[in-house]
Amino acid sequence: MRKVTLRYSKTSEPSAAKARKALREAVQQVSVQESIQALVQQLTQFEAQFGMSTVEFYTKYLAGRMGDRQAVMEWAGAYEEYMYLVQQYGHKIARS
């Protein structure tokens, strides 16, 4: 896990409550980034295994052309989780 460091100048030192809130947000952001990175690695492995991009796979999956094997379900789940995290937290990550 990465180290989170918050730095403030003497003139802008926050209250204890604000500092705790900033730390919680920073830790959540790091956790989300690590989760997204892990999912990207997993999606890349599925792409290599099946010989197609995740977008191509998911289009076929939604059309019912990929079957229901365990690996297919895991790939679809990983992609859906990836999309959720990017939609929910992507704007926060982009600002950091």
Q: Give me the residue spans of the domains in the chain.
A: 39-96
The sign of the torsion formed by the CA atoms of 11, 17, 21, 27 equals positive
CA 30 to CA 75: how far, in whole Å?
A: 24
Mean pLDDT, residues 18-27:
70
pLDDT in tens, 43-82: 999 999 999 999 999 999 999 999 999 999 999 999 999 9
The sign of the torsion formed by the CA atoms of 67, 72, 77, 80 equals negative
Q: Which residue has the higher pLDDT, 39 or 18?
A: 39
